[in-house]
Structure 1
Amino acid sequence: MLRIWASRAEVITVGIFRRIFGWGVNRKEAVVYSGLRYSIYRKFPVRLQSMAVSAIASVRWRHESSPAFRKLVVRLQKMQYWPLEDIEEYRRGRLAEVLLSARNTPYYEDMIPEEEAVRNDPAGVLKSLPVLDKRTVAQNPAAFIPKDADRSKLVRHGTSGTTGFPLKVYWNRESIDWERALIWRHRLAVGCRFGVDWTGMLGGHRIVPIEQTSPPFWRECPPAKLSYISTYHISPDNSSFYFSYMKERSMAFLSGYPSSLYALALAMSSNGLEYRLRGAFFGAEPLHDFQRKAIEDAFGCGLWDFYGLTERVVSASEFECRNGLHVNWENSFFEILDSSGRDAEPGQTGELVGTSLSNTGFTLLRYRTGDMTRLMEGGCPCGRTSPRIMAVSTKTEDLLVMPDGSLLSASNLTFPFKGMSHIRQSQIYQKVPGELIVRIVPDIGFVDEDAERLGREIQEILPAGVKVVIRRVESIPLNSSGKFSFAVSEVDREKPGPEGPGLA
C-alpha cells in the first residue's frame, strides 16, 4: 500500500515539475512556462528543489533502465566489432530509409529520386545532394520535417548559436534513444556502470540559484546515483565543500565541459585538495593540454571525449584504446570535405559533414558541422572496426573572469540563448571582470522584450555585481584564425606558466 501511495505521489510531483519546467507541454504552453520555470524553481527551499531534480531525472533513468533500452546498448556493444561488409550492408539500408523519409519533406521533395533509385545506390544519391548549412536550417526548420510526421511526438530543442547561428531542431524518439545508448556504450567501455557508480554532472544547469552562498551546491537523483553539480559556485573558497561532497558520495566519475572541470581542478589544487576519480567524461568544447594536465593532476584519472551535436547528425567516442575518436557509424553517415567541397584525402584536415541514420523526424542531409578533423588511417588495436578521426577542432570558449577572481565557463551562458528566437548571431564579450557585453545580430521579429528577457536570464546565472549589456550590432567579426568565437574575454588572468590560465 505504501508503494502505491509513493508511486502516486511521485507521478503528481513529476507532473507539477514538468509544467513548471516546461517539460511535456505543447509549444504554446512551453512559451508561457519558459519565462516562469526558473523564477519559480529558484524560490523553492533546497529540499523541494532536490525533489524536483530527482523526480525529473528519475523519468529518464527509468526509461534507460528498461529492458528495451538496455537491449539497445548491448546491441551497440556488439555492433562495434562487426565485419566491414556487415557494416556497409547495415548502413546502406539505414541510409535508404532516411533518404526516403527526406523525400517527403518540403526541402528535399524535388531533390531525391524515386524509391528504386534510392535503394539501388543510397550513398550515390546522398552525394548528389548539396551540402546543408546552419543558416538554411535556421531560416525554415519546418521544411525538414516530413509532411506525414506526427509533430506531437517530436521533441523540439534549441541550439545556443555558439557557432554563429542559433536554430531549432527536432528529435524523434528513436534518435534520442540511440544517442543516449551510444553515450552509455562509451561510459561502460571505461567502467562506468548503470546505477552503480556515482557520477557528477558539471554542465551549465542552473540547478543551484546563483544567490545561494552556502552548500549544498548540488542537487541529486539517488536512484540513478547522479548529481547535478553547480559550476557557478566553483571557487577556491568553496572547493572544500565540493571535495567533501564528492568524498561523501564516493563519487567515481565526473562529466562536464572541459572548462568547468578545469575550473574545479584549479580551485581544489589552490587549497591542496586531491580527489581520486576513476574517470572524467567531457564534450562540447575542445580540451587543451594545460587543462588536461590540471584535471589529471587534481583527480588522478583519465579523461574521455564524446563528440556530439544538438543536430544529432554525427557523433564519435574516445575509448580505452586512446587512439583517436571512433565514429559512431551505427547512427551517422559522415564525410570529411576539403575547402572545395570534395572528399578530403586520408590524413588531410577538412570539415566534418554528417547525416543522421535515426532521426527521420527531422532530416538533415550532408549537414555542415563547422568542425574540423581528419580521418586516421589503418585499423585500431582495440578491434573496433569503425573509422577513426582525430580530436575535433570545434568552437573555442574563453573563461570569463568574475569580480571575485573566480572563472566561469562561457558554455554555462549558452542556456538562455536556447529559448530565444529572432537572433541571427550572438557573442559574449568581456573587457573588465564586472561587465559582460552581449552582442546580438537581430533577425526580423526581434523586439525590445526579447533583449530584456535575454539580459534578465543571463543576469540570473551570474554573481551579484556583474553588469550585463545587450548591444545590437550589424555583424560580429571572426577571430584571428578566421573562426567565430561565442565568447571573447580580454581580461588579464594570472598565469602559472606558458601552459595556460590560472585562477586570478
Structure 2
Amino acid sequence: MLKHRVFAPLRRNLCEPLDALRSGTPRLRYWKELEHSQYLPESELRQIQWRKLMDLLDYVWDHNSFHRERLERAGITPDMIRTPADFMKIPMIRKEDIRSNIGKMISSGYDCDSLMKFKTGGSTGKALEIYMTEACSEFRNACARRHDRWTGWEPGEPVGAAWGNPEFPHDLKSRLRDWFLSPVIYLDTMSVTEKSVRVFATEWKRVRPTLLYGHAHSIFLLAEYVRKLDLTGISPKGILSTSMMLMPHERRTIEDVFGIKVTDRYGCEEVSLIASECEKHEGMHLNIEHLFIEFIKDDGTLAAPGEPGKIVVTDLMNRAMPFIRYQVEDVGIPSDRECSCGRGLPLMEHVTGRIADFLIKRDGTRIAGVSLIENTLTKIPGIEQMQIIQETVNIITINLVVGDGFGQDEENELVTYFHGLFGNESKVLINRKKIIATETNGKYMFSICRVKLD
C-alpha cells in the first residue's frame, strides 16, 4: 500500500514534468491556466469567450473558404456580429455538411498530412474525419485533466477504465512509460462477463486505481456484476461516467454498489468536453473557455433556462478545421442556477438524450428514449436490460434481457404501455435475448429511432 501512496506524487511531481520537458508538450501549462480560470467570475469568463469567438470569426473570414462562403450566403461579415443574437444568424452545420466538405473545412496554411487526424463513430455507422493541431489536442487533454480532478482523483494515480477496444501497452518501453506516467487497467466493454469482471477485480487489487472511468452503461454493468458476485476490493475514490448518457436508475445502482457519487461528463469527439459535474453534483459546468454553447429550440430561438434545446457548439480552439455552430445532435437543458462550488463556469441541468434517441409518434411528437426506459425498466419487475428500436412510426421492437419476476403478465404490461403512447394499431415486438450487444466502439444504445422524416 505504501508504494502506491509514494508512486503517485512521484509521477505527478517528477516523472510527468520531466516527460513534458523532453517532449515539449504545453499540456501542463494549459492545465495550470485552466485550474485558475475556472474560478474567475462568470462575467469575466463570458468576456474571454466572446473575444475568442470574435477572433475565430475574423480568422475564418480570411483563412477558411467553407465558413466564409457560409457567412457570405447569409449576408453576414464578422464586423456585423456584435451580440449572441447576431451570431445566431449564421446557419448551423451538421455531420452531413462536414462529411461532404472535409477538404474545404481545412483552413489555408494547414496541410492535412501534418495535422492530427481522428475518426468519430456514432449511430449512423459513418465515420467523420476530424483534423486538429497537436496544440489543440493538448488543450483538450488539459481540460479533461481539470475535470478528472473534480472526482477526487489526482494526476499520477492509477485509473481503472471500463472501455471498448482499449489500447494496451504492446512492448516494454510503452509498458514502462504507462507505469511511470499514468497506469491504467481495463475492463474491455466488448466482452463484459463474469470471468472478465473477476480478472478486473484482481487487477484492481494489484494496481489500486483511485478513479473508475468509462462508458456510463459499462460502469453500470460492472456494478451489477460486483453486487451479483459479491466482489470486494474495487473501491475508487472517484467515478467518472462519460461517452454516453447516464440514466437515473444506472446512477442509483452505481452509487449504491460503490458507496460514492458518480461524476457525469458530457462531450463528443468532434469538439471534446462540453460539460461536466463537479464535486457538488448540482448540474454540469459548461466548458466555455474552449466552446461557445447554444441551446436552440425547434423554432430556432434560444431555449430559456429549464427548457430543452438542441445543443449547438462552436469550437474556439480548433482553427485548423473550425466547427462553427455545429449541431451535435443532442438535446440538453440550460440553467441559470449557480453552483455552490464557487466556480464561474455556468451550468446546464443535464442532457436529455440524443436526437436519434427520441422516438416519434404519428402526430410528430417526440418522446425521449431515456424517459421510456425509466418508465418501464425501473417499474416493471424482472427487466434487467432493455433496448427500444423504432423501425417505422408503427413498428417498435423491444429487446429485453429478463430475470426472475418477468413473465407474461409483465410482458403484457410493457406492450400495453407502448400501445398507450403510440396507439393500439402500432405493432410492438418483444425479443427476449441473453445479451444485448454493444456497438463496435463498446457503447450500448438504449434507444434507436430509424424513422425517416421528410
Q: TM-score, normalised by structure 2?
A: 0.69
2:105 to 137, 144, 153: 144
CA offset at residue 346 of structure 1? 1.7
Between stretches 123-132 and 318-327, larger displacement belongs to 123-132
Question: Aligned residue for 1:242?
Answer: 200
When residues 316 and 99 of structure 1 are mapped into structure 2, their CA distance, relative to the original with a 3 A threshold, is same
Distance between the aligned counterparts of 2:279 and 2:200, measured in 1? Answer: 28
Query: Which residue of structure 2 aligns with residue 361 of structure 1?
Result: 320
Aligned counterpart for 1:391 among listed residues 339, 342, 350: 350
Q: Conserved in 2, the CA contact under 8 Å of 1:83 and 1:385?
A: yes
Describe the shift of the 1:110–1:245 C-alpha distance in structure 2 as closer, same or farther (beyond 3 A).
closer
Q: Aligned in 2, Cα 1:153/1:496: closer, same or farther, shift over 3 Å? A: farther
Given that 2:31 and 2:145 are in contact with CA atoms closer than 8 Å, whether structure 1 keeps it comes out as yes
Q: 1:227 maps to what in 2? A: 184
- Per-residue deviation, 1:314: 6.0
The one-letter amino acid of 1:378's match is R
Question: Residues of 2 paired with 1:59 and 1:382: CA distance?
Answer: 28
Q: Structure 2: 5+ residue runs without aligned partners?
A: 1-14, 169-174, 358-388, 411-431, 436-454
- Give distance in 1, aligned partners of 2:329 and 2:393: 17
**What secondary structure does 1:392 align onto?**
strand
Deviation of 1:117 after TM superposition, in Å, equals: 4.5
Please tell me whether the aligned partners of residues 283 and 339 of structure 2 are also in contact (alpha carbons under 8 angstroms).
no
Q: Which of residues 350, 356, 363 is equivalent to 2:309?
A: 350
Report Cα offsets for 1:383-408 as digits up to 9, x if no partner.
Answer: 1122211221334999xxxxxxxxxx
Confirm or deny: 8 A CA contact 2:136 2:317 kept in the other structure: yes
Name 2:402's counterpart in structure 1: 493
Distance 1:245 1:158 in 2: 31
Aligned pairs for 1:6-85 (under 5 A) are 62-63=19-20, 68-85=26-43
Counterpart for residue 184 of structure 1 = 145
Alignment partners' CA distance in 1, 2:164 and 2:265: 17
Give, in whole Å, the separation in 2 of the partners of 1:94 and 1:394.
Answer: 29
**Contact 1:146–1:362 (Cα < 8 Å) also in 2:** yes
State how far apart, in whole Å, the 2-side matches of 1:481 and 1:110 are. Answer: 41
Are 1:73 and 1:184, in contact at CA under 8 Å, matched by a contact in 2?
A: yes
In the other structure, the counterpart of 2:161 is 201
Structure 1 segments, 4+ long, off by >4 Å, are 58-61, 63-67, 113-117, 122-125, 395-398, 476-482, 495-498, 501-504
Q: 2:151–2:239: 8 Å Cα contact kept in structure 1?
A: no
Distance verdict in 2 for CA 1:137–1:115, change over 3 Å: closer
Amino acid paired to 1:490: N
Alpha-carbon distance in structure 1 between the residues aligned to 2:17 and 2:97: 32
User: CA–CA distance in 1 between the matches of 2:116 and 2:17?
Assistant: 14
Structure 1 residue 164: Cα displacement: 6.8
One-letter amino acid of the structure 2 residue matched with residue 265 of structure 1? A
Q: Contact (CA 8 Å) 1:80, 1:386: kept in 2 or not?
A: yes
Which one is further off, 358-367 or 104-113?
104-113
The reply to whether residue 96 of structure 1 matches residue 54 of structure 2 is: yes
Q: Does 1:134 align with 2:91?
A: no
Give the match's secondary structure for 2:67: coil
Matches of 2:114 and 2:105 in 1, distance apart?
A: 15
Cα pair distance change 1:148/1:348, threshold 3 Å? same
In the other structure, the counterpart of 1:408 is: none
Paired residue for 1:304?
A: 263
Question: Identity of counterpart residues, as a percentage?
Answer: 21
Which secondary structure state, in structure 2, belongs to the residue aligned with residue 308 of structure 1? Answer: strand
Provide the secondary structure at the position in 1 that maps to 2:263: strand
> Is 1:266 aligned with 2:224?
yes
Matched, 1:379 2:332: no
Does structure 2 conserve the Cα–Cα contact (< 8 Å) formed by 1:200 and 1:251? yes
Aligned-pair distance for 1:502?
12
Count residues with an aligned counterpart: 356
Aligned pairs for 1:382-461 within 5 A? 382-395=341-354
Unaligned runs of 5+ in 1: 1-57, 209-217, 399-475
